[in-house]
Amino acid sequence: MGAQSIAALDDVPPEQLQAGRAPVVPRHSLPLIVDLDGTLVRTDTLHESLLALAFRRPWHLVGAVAAMRRGRAVFKRHVGRVSVLDWAALPFDPHVLSLIERRRAAGDPVHLVTAADQSIADGVGSALKLFETATGSDGSHNLRGSAKAAYLAERFPDGFDYVGDCVSDIAVWRETGRATLAGGSKRLAMRLEGEGLTTTMLPCHRARASDWVRLMRPRRWLANLLLFLPLLTAPEDGRADLVLRFGIAWLLFGMAGSAANMLGELGDLALERRHPIRRSGPLAAGRIGIGTALTLSFVLLAAALAGGALLGGTIAVALLGYAGLLLVCHPRPGRMLAGLLGAAGMAAILLSAGLMLAGHPLV
């Protein structure tokens, strides 16, 4: 890729690991500056904070909207003050953490500098205890792009190394003449190479096909086969004509269920990340972003309701009730009874919808 190649970050060479020899860690003379969102953590802490407000303290969103009109830095300060995140449970990028540990072992100071609000920088810094300092936006100035570049150039006039992940970081990398890129964006790496910046690309954490399948919760789709039970009671001469309607309805219930499951998981991200199994899920681990999951869930739910309206207004109502019940009864520790009642309610909705599709009156 161009005259300069993009190098992967390597561990200590094997020849340095011979018996009786301590690893020789390359010595760096410059401080390492680490970005937060999309770099140190595989998520956006502002999105995380807004999500926490929406599900836990929705009344604070009114103040957040008002603060947005006064500037992005003011908006971040307001959201940071009224939301509480589980700092230690955030999905940290292991490759960035490894780089930090190596640079610390070499004696280099490491600083966290982020466009997130200072309260978030302080929370992450206190949780990790890896940084000399943690600096964020101060409520007046948004520490991003050229503003961050100017700040770092003034604070570290003798130079620094910087780890970032997005286009807004290019201004910072221009100050250093080299880039360490997290997140695995090959397009951004090519752009950096085109500007003559020596680029070191950290391993990426892209979503796999299995992550998208897992996000859709296929077992829920199998449970929805209960919808077909009333089809067996339909007259045989008209049953074949109903199969297509039932198949479409089953697809719509699957879409609505997937949407509700995504929203439920987003609302419980902190709990998901503390669970020994679910913390490896695509949302909890940050392989699929919050914005992507929200968009997909709303698209699926809207498409399901629109399709339900075409099948009949009562089917659309059943779909909405099914999704709402699934969201309210999303599995949580210590709520087994609520989960059982929710499962019973969803089964009743599926059977009722099947009876309506088969032409049986409910009353």
Instruction: State the sign of the Cα–Cα–Cα–Cα dihedral 259, 347, 250, 245.
Output: negative
* Of the candidate ranges 38-52, 93-107, 293-307, 345-359, the one whose mean pLDDT is the lowest: 345-359
Residue 314 has pLDDT above 60, yes or no: yes
Which pLDDT value is given to residue 288?
93
* Of the candidate ranges 91-105, 124-138, 147-161, 276-290, the one whose mean pLDDT is the lowest: 276-290
Rounded to an integer, the average pLDDT of 81-92 is 90
Instruction: State the sign of the Cα–Cα–Cα–Cα dihedral 239, 315, 293, 338.
Output: negative
Q: What is the DSSP string of 72-91?
A: HHHHHHHHHHH----GGGS-
One CATH from 3.65.10.10, 3.40.50.2300, 3.90.650.10, 1.10.357.140 for 209-357: 1.10.357.140
Kindly state the percentage of the chain with pLDDT values over 90: 56
Residue 164 has pLDDT above 90, yes or no: yes
User: Residue 109's pLDDT band (boundaries 50, 70, 90)?
Assistant: very high
Angle between helix 60-68 and 45-56 (nearest 10): 140
* Of the candidate ranges 116-125, 175-184, 354-363, the one whose mean pLDDT is the lowest: 354-363
Between CA 50 and CA 268, with CA 284 as vertex, the angle to 5 degrees is 55
At the top level of CATH, the class of 7-201 is alpha beta
Which pLDDT value is given to residue 231?
85
Residue 322 has pLDDT above 90, yes or no: yes
Which pLDDT value is given to residue 29?
75
Question: pTM for the full model?
Answer: 0.81
Which pLDDT value is given to residue 57?
86
User: Residue 315's pLDDT band (boundaries 50, 70, 90)?
Assistant: very high
Six-digit token string for 57: 């303290």
Kindly state the percentage of the chain with pLDDT values over 70: 88
d(CA 244, CA 225): 14
> CA dist 93 to 39, 125, 163, 230, 234, Å?
7, 15, 12, 49, 55
Which pLDDT value is given to residue 338?
65
User: Residue 331's pLDDT band (boundaries 50, 70, 90)?
Assistant: low
Nearest to 308 by CA among 230, 245, 239: 245
Domain positions in the chain are 7-201, 209-357
For the chain, state the CA radius of gyration.
Answer: 25
Residue 227 has pLDDT above 60, yes or no: yes
Domains 7-201 and 209-357 share a fold: no
Nearest to 121 by CA among 37, 42, 30, 60: 37
Instruction: Express each pLDDT in 16-60 by its tens digit.
Output: 434 334 344 444 579 999 999 999 999 999 999 999 888 888 888
Output phi, psi for 106, to 5 deg.
Answer: -80, -5
User: Residue 362's pLDDT band (boundaries 50, 70, 90)?
Assistant: low
Residue 8 has pLDDT above 50, yes or no: no
DSSP code for 358:
T
Residue 66 has pLDDT above 70, yes or no: yes
